[in-house]
């Protein structure tokens, strides 16, 4: 089968479109014929070597996936051959940027029936991030107020919809290029952060401040005053600490999205009931290998060849999704952005001034192997400032961690 893989960490040029062996599901696993695989910021981080998720090289990216089950292993219940499913796959395993992917049966749920199967790949991890930030960490309830900083991204638009459904008053920041999308998602108040001082624009304190943008840490700390006593500051930007205020009982929480099959199934039901909109952009077919530089509006660099289809869910913001179709799969994308009015290179690879979030060089193989290597495969983990793994979770990651320019 065809797949996109990287054999070493580095820039987008390390991605290879190649023939690999088709996997076979073991006990408790299913094999999915991939309809689409979403590209998210953490895929970029793992490929670049600056996100501490240990993967075995060569690695197939794409942990958000949609497709049709075509084989099942022993002991699998609840899903069957022919079922259309979506999944948030374990990040340390090979992902869905391939014609087929093997996944734990308990990581997939039935796909929405009201939208194209390929578009459904844009749902799993980003929608789960929004839910967990608002309700699991923020403890939002009906009648309360939330301020979403960086609401123009994919997570932000899911967060707006979910908060409104819960009866929450939503105040959202956006740049001019994302204001219309934020309004369409249902925000009650929209603040153009490019022209307005947020601290003076928020007239009434909020119960929860949700930050999704790579803002200046000092500026972030100043926003805590906008949160009422006993409220919460929640952030997905794990490259910097989330501020709180113990003197006023304002909690601080950083979100690392966790797999949750039951919650994902609930989100699917919201899509099918029309209460949650999945956004996906146009499709791009790869007739030949192309490299298109990202522009200041938050476009992506695309790499691929021969007949593949990329369905892009771009928009301004910190978490972006790319659906890479397997017809056959032959493209993948790496986000880079430049701040408005700037020609500086702000791609993750160019961030070198702050060791808490710059790209880190991989040690030589004799010091980077975390365990006995099998054949030529090596498992590598690279530290990223305050990001940490723990709690026995299979995979944790910040959904908006890239310290790059571009307004959300």
Rounded-to-integer distance, Cα 362 and Cα 356, Å? 15
Task: Tell me if the pTM is above 0.95.
Answer: no
Considering the domain boundaries, does residue 238 fall inside one? yes
- Whether residue 342 has pLDDT greater than 90: no
Considering the domain boundaries, does residue 300 fall inside one? no
**Coil/strand/helix, residue 180:** helix
The arithmetic mean of pLDDT across residues 263-283, rounded, is 88
> Per the structure block, which two tokens stand in for 93?
């395993």
Q: Which domain holds residue 145?
A: 126-254
> Per the structure block, which two tokens stand in for 379?
């498992």
Considering the domain boundaries, does residue 208 fall inside one? yes
The CATH number of the domain where 204 resides is what?
3.40.50.720
Rounded-to-integer distance, Cα 231 and Cα 204, Å? 13
> How confident is residue 10, by pLDDT bands cut at 50, 70 and 90?
confident
> How confident is residue 240, by pLDDT bands cut at 50, 70 and 90?
confident
- Whether residue 312 has pLDDT greater than 50: no
The arithmetic mean of pLDDT across residues 150-170, rounded, is 96
Between 201 and 294, residue with greater pLDDT: 201
> Per the structure block, which two tokens stand in for 16?
């290879």
Considering the domain boundaries, does residue 398 fall inside one? no
31: part of which helix (H) or strand (E)? strand 29-39
Rounded-to-integer distance, Cα 330 and Cα 122, Å? 18
- Could you report the per-residue pLDDT of 54-68, keeping only the tens digit for each? 889 999 988 999 999
Between 64 and 393, residue with greater pLDDT: 64
Considering the domain boundaries, does residue 81 fall inside one? no
Give the per-residue pLDDT at 11: 83
Residue 328: cis peptide before it, omega within 30 degrees of 0: yes
Considering the domain boundaries, does residue 265 fall inside one? no
- Whether residue 129 has pLDDT greater than 90: yes
Considering the domain boundaries, does residue 264 fall inside one? no
Considering the domain boundaries, does residue 75 fall inside one? no
Q: Output phi, psi for 307, to 5 deg.
A: 75, -5
């Amino acid at each position: 089968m065809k797949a996109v893989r990287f054999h070493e960490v580095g820039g987008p040029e390390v991605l290879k479109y190649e023939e690999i062996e088709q996997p076979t599901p073991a006990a408790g696993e299913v094999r999915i014929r991939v309809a689409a695989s979403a590209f998210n910021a953490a895929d970029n981080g793992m490929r670049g070597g600056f996100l501490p998720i240990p993967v075995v090289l060569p690695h197939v990216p794409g942990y958000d996936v949609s497709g049709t089950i075509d084989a099942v292993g022993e002991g699998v219940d609840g899903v069957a051959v022919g079922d259309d499913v979506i999944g948030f796959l374990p990040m340390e395993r090979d992902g869905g940027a391939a014609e087929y992917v093997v996944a734990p049966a308990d990581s997939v749920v039935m796909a929405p029936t009201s939208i194209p199967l390929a578009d459904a790949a844009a749902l799993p991890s980003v929608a789960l991030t929004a839910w967990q930030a608002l309700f699991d960490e923020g403890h939002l309830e009906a009648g309360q107020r939330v301020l979403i900083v960086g609401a123009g991204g994919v997570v932000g638009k899911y967060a707006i919809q979910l908060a409104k459904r819960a009866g929450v008053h939503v105040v959202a920041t956006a740049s001019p290029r994302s204001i219309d999308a934020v309004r369409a998602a249902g925000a009650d108040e929209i603040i153009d952060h490019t022209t307005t001082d947020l601290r003076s624009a928020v007239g009434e304190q909020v119960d929860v401040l949700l930050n999704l943008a790579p803002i200046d840490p000092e500026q972030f700390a100043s926003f805590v005053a906008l949160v009422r006593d006993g409220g919460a500051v929640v952030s997905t930007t794990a490259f910097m600490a989330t501020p709180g205020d113990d003197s006023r009982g304002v909690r601080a929480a950083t979100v690392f999205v966790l797999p949750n099959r039951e919650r994902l199934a609930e989100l699917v039901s919201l899509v099918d009931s029309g209460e949650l909109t999945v956004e996906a952009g146009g499709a791009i077919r790869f007739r030949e290998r192309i490299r298109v530089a990202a522009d200041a509006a938050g476009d992506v660099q695309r790499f691929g060849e021969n007949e593949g289809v990329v369905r892009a869910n771009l928009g301004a913001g910190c978490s972006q999704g790319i659906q890479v179709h397997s017809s056959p799969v032959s493209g993948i994308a790496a986000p880079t952005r430049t701040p408005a009015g700037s020609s500086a290179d702000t791609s993750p690879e160019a961030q070198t001034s702050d060791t808490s979030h710059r790209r880190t060089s991989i040690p030589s193989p004799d010091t980077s192997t975390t365990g006995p290597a099998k054949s030529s495969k090596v498992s590598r983990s690279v530290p990223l400032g305050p990001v940490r793994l723990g709690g026995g979770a299979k995979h944790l990651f910040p959904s908006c961690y890239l310290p790059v320019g571009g307004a959300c």
